[in-house]
Amino acid sequence: MNAFDLKGKTILVTGASSGLGKQTAITASEYGARVIITGRNATRLLETHQLLHGEGHLQFLADLTIQSDIDQLVAGLPMLDGLVHCTGISELSPARFITEEIISRTFRISFNASVLLTAGILAKKKLTKNNSSIVFISSISTRYPFVGGAMYISAKAALEAYARVLAIELAPRGTRVNCIAPAFVRTPMLDETAENFSRETVDKIEQRQLMGLGDPVDVANTIVFYLADASKWVSATNLILGGG
Ligand SMILES: NC(=O)c1ccc[n+]([C@@H]2O[C@H](COP(=O)([O-])OP(=O)(O)OC[C@H]3O[C@@H](n4cnc5c(N)ncnc54)[C@H](OP(=O)(O)O)[C@@H]3O)[C@@H](O)[C@H]2O)c1
């Protein structure tokens, strides 16, 4: 077997109804994985499902800010070889307008959801021992912050810290844990950020990016590496995509 392919592996991808999660699910299936996809929007999740290559894929609707949805998802999961967390929102706000509600809304999906889903999967023993992989999507903005991003970036920084601890905790059972930190990628989230916050800010950040804007497949190919046996000696990393 080619160390870069995913044949025989079952991978859960969250946020699979849009952007990076959608492309990750499609690319993983192209590399031979059986993919379990989850998201909230039924129409867009079905669209992703229809674009998957091969057979045996499953889809689950779930709002990952609701504990009972997480519990139901975990109960329905088959045994996994990999888990990719692609959920997130990009609600931006200047520091003086941050409220308790904004903190909570951002952290609930950009941090708590991934942590609680991981906890559920580990507690119910749904992740294989020996050679399994968990991937989190942080953001380059934890190194190169931008105005208005205080809560988004803080949640990502918390996720990076959590992933480092998880890597130590799960290494003895043969699970590797890695983060990727992409620069701006062409997804609905980027369009939404420009529309709701400031086109000018987004344009400025784009101009600063060493390798320009990314495409979802650039991120998905990197994630496939982290899921494949090719990365079996790689853990506790946080890889910047897009050149810094
Ligand atoms: N795009 C970029 O430039 C960029 C750069 C660096 C990092 N990232 C990170 O990459 C990840 C994916 O971003 P993206 O650009 O692909 O965003 P996106 O296109 O907006 O997709 C976000 C996904 O998160 C899901 N989601 C949101 N709230 C949810 C909830 N409560 N329960 C379950 N799922 C929920 C959405 O599902 P529904 O649509 O079904 O609600 C959607 O599938 C995020 O963590 C983002 O911060 C993105």
pLDDT of 204: 83
152 C-alpha to ligand 1 centroid (Å): 12
Nearest-CA residue for atom 46 of ligand 1: 88
* pTM strictly above 0.95: yes
Q: Are 24 and 94 in contact (CB under 8 A)?
A: no
pLDDT of 200: 85
- Cβ burial 98-121 (10 Å sphere, 16+ → b, else e): eeeeeeeebbbbbbbbbbbbbebb
Q: Say whether domain 10-241 belongs to CATH 3.40.50.720.
A: yes
Query: In the block, which residue shows the tokens 């409220």?
Result: 99
Is the pLDDT assigned to residue 203 strictly greater than 90?
A: no
138 C-alpha to ligand 1 centroid (Å): 11
For the chain, the structural domain boundaries read: 10-241
The predicted model gives 19-47 an average pLDDT of 98
Of 62-71, 163-172, 207-216, 226-235, the one with minimum mean pLDDT is: 207-216
pLDDT of 198: 79
Nearest-CA residue for atom 23 of ligand 1: 15
Is the pLDDT assigned to residue 207 strictly greater than 90?
A: no
90 C-alpha to ligand 1 centroid (Å): 8
2 C-alpha to ligand 1 centroid (Å): 30
The predicted model gives 189-215 an average pLDDT of 85
- Cβ burial 199-226 (10 Å sphere, 16+ → b, else e): eebbeebeeebeeeebebebbbbbbbbb
Residue 88 CB neighbours (<10 A): 25
The predicted model gives 171-187 an average pLDDT of 97
Mean pLDDT, the chain, integer: 96
As a whole-number percent, the residues of the chain with pLDDT over 90 amount to: 87
